[in-house]
Structure 1
């Protein structure tokens, strides 16, 4: 993803999850994917999709059962 996309996504997530130390970081070798961190801990990925000419972003977050304890 381009730097301006990363900035916009980062700002959006910070507005949406107020008070959470959240950060979107680019993946240099993956042009359509970025990583999401909360408190410097990796929590998921953001993927860019242009299906049927419409641009959207998908946040994928995996929660392990050991994290729920």
Structure 2
């Protein structure tokens, strides 16, 4: 997996904000080399983004984690 550039992070953030309908969503660069790019909503990290390049085509995988304790009661 390749590193995500600052330009890609900015473009991903705009795209995800539009697709998911939330201006509170941010795509945050890694704090240190080798760490994941994180997605947050209103400052709370909800997942990660990974970049993949295959035969010159670039794609991004978004992994969103929801903890059971954060779900409403059944």
Question: So what's the TM-score if we normalise by structure 1?
Answer: 0.85
Query: Would you tell me which structure has more helix in proportion to its own residues?
Result: 1
Bigger Cα Rg: 2
Q: Structure 1 regions of 5+ residues with no counterpart?
A: none
Give the paired residue count: 68
Q: Structure 2 regions of 5+ residues with no counterpart?
A: none
1:5 paired residue among 8, 27, 38: 8
**CA-atom RMSD in angstroms:** 1.6
Question: So what's the TM-score if we normalise by structure 2?
Answer: 0.80
